[in-house]
């Protein structure tokens, strides 16, 4: 027995209603997942890609590979010094150990921000010195050796010359005393004529530019003798 026109129309309407309900239900689950994910994501490239991934049913991790690589690259940077040398900057946080950390601590020490001898580890005491330096330079006080802090430290022109007075200067005078360039009584933290003469003699003996000042290269040579 064939269906009447009324029955056929009824079947078509039921099919349409069923299809609409099915589409509504499946899309509502996707929208719910998107809204749920959006509550925990920021509107950066990674967050947007995760929401998009959920909406099309793809694993979010497949879309984050490029973003992860960019974040990894952000941990390093290169700068060029006035001498034309290229320096790769690596950032360091509390607990990290590196020979570069020792160099940065040496600068902080020479600037008077540290009282203990520099080491290759970023300790809590060093972190405090970094925060003090960052505050004086108008940098974010993170206590970490981030890029802006490292660039600022590398730009420091640390040197001691005639007329200067510093406790750090005394440590370099003591090295000059140990190397028989200066009398022990002159290791008093005051950069006088005798210290200048001793520095000139030390620079000449080590093939350094004879400035009579304890500049960065002279400091490096003296530090090697600690």
162, part of any domain: no
Rounded Cα distance between 158 and 67, Å, is 39
Same domain flag for 61 and 94: no
Of 109, 129, 154, the residue at which a domain comes to its end is 154
Question: Residue 186: which residues within 8 A CB-CB, separation 6 or more?
Answer: 173, 177, 192, 194, 195, 198
Distance CA 124, CA 116 (A): 12
Contact 195, 203 (CB under 8 A): no
Instruction: Give the pLDDT confidence score for residue 54 in this predicted structure.
Output: 47
Other residues' Cβ atoms within 10 Å of the Cβ of residue 5: 8
- What pLDDT tens digit does each residue of the chain (226 aa) get? 556 666 777 777 777 877 776 676 655 555 555 455 545 544 455 554 554 454 445 554 444 444 444 444 455 566 665 556 666 789 999 999 998 898 899 899 888 899 888 899 999 999 999 999 999 999 999 999 999 999 999 888 888 999 988 888 998 999 999 999 999 999 999 999 999 999 999 999 999 999 999 998 998 899 889 7
Of the three residues 67, 90, 113, the one that is the final residue of a domain is: 67
**Residue 56 backbone phi and psi in degrees, to 5:** -105, 5
CA distances from 20 to 23, 31, 196 (A): 5, 16, 91
Task: Identify whether 33 is part of a domain.
Answer: yes
- Provide the residue range defining the domain that includes 210: 167-223
Do 119 and 51 share a domain, yes or no?
no
3-state SS record for 153-182:
HHCCCCCECCCCECHHHHHHHHHHHHCCCC
Number of CB atoms found within 10 A of residue 19's CB: 10
CATH of the domain at 112: 1.10.101.10
Q: Is residue 159 part of a domain?
A: no
Same domain, yes or no: 56 and 85: no
Residues in the chain: 226
Residues 12 and 49 reside in one and the same domain: yes
- Number of domains, the chain: 3
Give 215's contacts (C-beta < 8 A, 6+ positions apart): 159, 209
- For residue 161, tell me if it sits in a domain: no
CB atoms within 10 A of CB 151: 14
Indicate the pTM of the whole model: 0.53
What stretch of H or E contains 77? strand 76-80
Asked whether residue 160 is assigned to any structural domain, the reply reads: no
């Amino acid at each position: 027995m064939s269906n009447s026109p009324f029955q056929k129309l009824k079947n078509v309407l039921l099919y349409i209603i069923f299809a609409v309900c099915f589409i509504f239900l499946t899309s509502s689950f996707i929208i719910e997942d998107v809204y749920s994910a959006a509550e925990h994501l920021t509107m950066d490239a990674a967050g947007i890609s995760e929401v998009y991934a959920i909406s099309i049913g793809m694993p979010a991790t497949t879309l984050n590979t490029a973003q992860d690589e960019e974040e990894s690259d952000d941990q390093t940077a290169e700068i060029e010094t006035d001498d034309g040398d290229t320096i790769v900057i690596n950032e360091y946080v509390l607990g990290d150990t590196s020979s570069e950390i020792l160099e940065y601590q040496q600068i902080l020490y020479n600037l008077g921000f540290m009282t203990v001898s520099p080491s290759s580890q970023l300790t809590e005491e060093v972190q405090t010195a970094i925060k003090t330096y960052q505050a004086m330079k108008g940098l974010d006080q993170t206590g970490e050796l981030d890029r802006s802090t490292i660039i600022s430290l590398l730009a420091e022109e640390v040197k001691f010359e005639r007329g200067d007075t510093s406790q750090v200067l005394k440590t370099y005078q003591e090295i000059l005393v140990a190397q028989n360039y200066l009398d022990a009584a002159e290791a008093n933290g005051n950069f006088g004529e005798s210290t200048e003469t001793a520095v000139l003699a030390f620079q000449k003996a080590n093939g350094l530019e004879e400035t009579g000042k304890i500049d960065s290269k002279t400091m490096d040579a003296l530090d090697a003798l600690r």
